[in-house]
Each structure stands twice: as structure tokens, then as C-alpha cells.
Amino acid sequence: MALVDTLQNTICNYNNEIKNLKTELMKYKTPKIPYLNYNEWCDTKTNAYKVIYDGIYKFVLYELKHTIYYGLYKIADCIIEALNILTKNNNPEWAIQKTWDIVYGIEGLIHGFINSGLNDYICNLTPEEFTDLLYNNIEWQLDNGKHSPCILEDLAIFTCKTCKIQSEYISELNICVECDNAEIRLEYASDNE
């Protein structure tokens, strides 16, 4: 009977460890968030980016000099809020982890200026210029639509209106790549008949 109890405790401990590891993994694994269509994704992204810009501007306007020397921790709140908007509050652990990755990267940029003796350049930026510097860095890390990979690249998933398969990539017509290519092939074939 003691052996059975020992095995049950061991299995229970392993199950708890697996559960804890799965929870920890959620911080790093990009969630898959369903969006109805491409326009909903773009509108949500625009709203989230506005939260970031407004939060940075408000913070920089009132605390610019402190921001440069004491860190950017206060702007983390607006990034977390924006990522929670984009994930539909589906994975707050991921939002927090990605936010601190972003903030750490920006602090590296700022300290690069300071450690290179260029802190006067940063200190002489207007609040608007400093806001733009921070915002453009954050937007670039998240997804400015001009490079890959980026943080939001695999976040949104859509259902193709033609084949009903879920896909991370969809046209503005809400058609997956495969169906879009099929339509192009059909159009090409009919044009060449």
C-alpha cells in the first residue's frame, strides 16, 4: 500500500509540475486570437496603438527628464493595456512578458545613447520628438507592417470566407492565401481561353 501511495504522490507531483510548466510557457507562446475579418484586426490594432501613443505622450510630457535617467517602467502600463486589447484579454501573462521585453529593448536604446556620450541629444528632444522615438520603436517591435518577424505577426487568426479554414494570413477580402491563389488561377485560366 505504501508503494501505491508513493506512486500516487509522485504522479500528483508530476501533474502539478506539468501544469506549472504549461502556465509558464503561456508567457512566451504567442496566443492565437480569432478575429472576424481583416478590418476588425486593423481597427483593433489602430485602437491599441493609440493607447500606446497617448500613454507615452502623457508620461513623457510630465516626466521627460526622469524618464531618461530612471527608466521607462511607467510606460509599461499602456503597452500592457494595448496588448490586452489585441489579445482580447486572453493571455495577460503573455502581454506582461512581451511588454517587459519591449521596455527592456527601449532602455537598451536609451542607454546606448547615454553610454556613447550622446545623452545631450536625448535630453534636448522635445516631448513630441521623444514620444515619437519611443512610439516608433514600440510599433516597429510589435508590427509596423514593414518587416518580419515581429511580435504580433502570428497573433491574429481569421476564418476564410471561402473554405472556412482558419489562417494567420488573409487578404482584405477575407480570403486565405490558398483560396486567393485559386481565384487568381481561375481568372488566369478564363482569360486565356
CA 79 – CA 55 distance, rounded (Å): 8
User: Pairing mode, if any, of strands 156-159 and 166-167?
Assistant: antiparallel
Q: Give pLDDT, residue 52.
A: 97
Residue showing cell 504580433: 152
Q: Give pLDDT, residue 27.
A: 64
- The pLDDT > 90 percentage for the chain reads 51
Mean pLDDT over 159-182 rounds to 89
Nearest residue to 134 (alpha-carbon basis) of 85, 84, 61:
61
CA 54 – CA 49 distance, rounded (Å): 9
Is residue 76 domain-resident?
yes
Per-residue pLDDT of 48-63, as tens digits, reads: 999 999 999 988 887 7
Q: Give pLDDT, residue 182.
A: 73
Q: Give pLDDT, residue 136.
A: 96
Is residue 167 domain-resident?
no
Is residue 88 domain-resident?
yes
Q: Which domain holds residue 70?
A: 38-151
Is residue 188 domain-resident?
no
Number of structural domains found in the chain: 1
Q: Give pLDDT, residue 78.
A: 95
Nearest residue to 99 (alpha-carbon basis) of 115, 119, 113, 85:
85
CA 110 – CA 154 distance, rounded (Å): 28
Is residue 169 domain-resident?
no
Is residue 185 domain-resident?
no
* Nearby residues of 141 by Cβ (< 8 Å), 6 or more positions away: 102, 105, 150, 151
Q: Give pLDDT, residue 68.
A: 57
Is residue 173 domain-resident?
no
Is residue 16 domain-resident?
no
Q: Give pLDDT, residue 189.
A: 58
Q: What's the distance, Cα to Cα, between the start and end of the chain in Å?
A: 80
Cell numbers that stand for 49 in this block:
496603438
**One-letter amino acid identity for 7?**
L
